[in-house]
Amino acid sequence: MQSNISNSSVGKVELIIKKRVITLMKDFPEIIEKAASALKASNRVVAFCGSGFSEESGISTFRDPGGLWDIVDPWEVGTLQGFINTIKTKNNQLLQVFRNIIDSFEKSEPNPGHLALYDLESMDKLQAVITQNIDNLHQEAGNSTVIEVHGNLFRMKCLGCGNQIKVDRKQFIEKTRKELNKLTDFDFTVLMNLAEKCRVCGNFMRPDVVMFGEAVQYLDEAYDAAIKADLLLILGTSGVVYPAADIPIQASRSGAKIIEINPTENAFVNITDIYIPMKSGVALPSIVELLN
């Protein structure tokens, strides 16, 4: 599958990668070379991604200082009922949060980290991307096997018959922004007007994302890919949300070598063979560059 990025953007990104590789090699040559050697020796690589992997695309993480859960209470807006209640009570505050999220999703593009994962798939090394992210950026970078355990914001699911449809990210965002800009207060009826209608049964459709307390998606597929991996890349996740955070642990128990790229150390450090304290959009392209 070809990446969906225009040639000029790829050229720009390659320039960024080249510049970063040059600066980077002065700082972390050994860890990068160690990781590249491990990748060279592996053919069943799987990536496990969190919101930090999309941070360099301009999308906020959840638990970093200033992250989404610093702004709104996850237990207020993370469950479907809590989200509806919050709209009814704190709607103008939520309106601004929504506008900020829509803005960040609109401007976001796959970053050098996403493109590096596409390169690894093109080299027949990467078998799958398991992601907790809902932003569709792995697919837009060109990866074909993307296991989205927390769903996808741009896939709608019918509340009645379960029918699913994909919506174009840019069109969905333009439509949502247009409706939000008409609002002074965020009220529930508008939200329902925003909702797509199911062509099969006529019922309302909602974004197919996993809210707190709802069943995680494609977990069997994720575990299956992880335990078959000979190397697992843990990229940009705090590893605090289960059952997703159990996936790298099972990969390690099944014998996979673990490489983690994250500026902040976390619980995974106990299972990690190579820990790279850097941004994934800088480190991963530098590692993949050494494979070329």
Residue 28 or 163 with smaller CB distance to ligand APR: 28
With binding defined as CB under 6 A, does residue 131 bind ligand APR? Answer: no
| 50 vs 248, beta carbon nearer ligand APR | 50
CA dihedral 74, 217, 87, 103 (to 10 degrees): 90
**In this structure, are residues 109 and 137 in contact, taking their beta carbons and an 8 Å threshold?**
yes
Q: What is the C-alpha to C-alpha distance for residues 147 and 95, in angstroms, rounded to an integer? A: 30
Instruction: List all residues 6 or more positions away from 17 whose beta carbon is below 8 Å from its beta carbon.
Output: 112, 115, 116, 285, 286, 289
From the candidates 150, 157, 169, 279, give the one annotated as an active-site residue: 150
Q: What residues numbered 173-232 form the site for ligand APR, per CB under 6 A?
A: none
Produce one character per residue of 244-270: b if its CB has 16 or more CB atoms within 10 Å, e if not: bbbbbbbbbeeebbbbbbbeeebebee
> Applying CB under 6 A, which of residues 42, 57, 252, 280 lies at the interface with ligand APR?
280
Least Cβ distance, residue 45 to ligand APR (angstroms): 17
64 forms part of the interface with ligand APR (CB under 6 A): yes
From 260, 239, 167, select the one nearest 209 (Cα to Cα). 167
- Which of 5, 17, 20, 52: binder of ligand APR (CB under 6 A)? 52
Question: Residue 275 carries which side chain, given as an amino acid letter?
Answer: Y
**Binding of residue 56 to ligand APR (CB under 6 A):** yes
What does the chain come to in residues? 292
Work out how close the CB of 280 gets to ligand APR at its nearest, in angstroms, rounded to a whole number: 4
- Give me 221's structure tokens: 């597929």
Any contact of residue 139 with ligand APR (CB under 6 A)?
no
CB 3 within 8 A of CB 111: no
- Mark the segment that binds ligand APR (CB under 6 A) among 7-15, 165-173, 235-243, 267-275: 235-243
Q: What is the CA radius of gyration of the chain?
A: 19
Catalytic-residue membership of 114: no
By CB under 6 A, residue 150 contacts ligand APR = yes
> Which residue sits closest to ligand APR, CB atoms considered?
52
C-beta separation of 71 from 138 below 8 A: no
Cβ proximity to ligand APR, 114 vs 198, nearer residue: 114
Interface residue list for ligand APR (CB under 6 A): 50-52, 55-56, 61-64, 67, 74, 132, 150, 236-238, 240-241, 261-264, 266, 279-281
Annotated active-site positions, please? Answer: 150
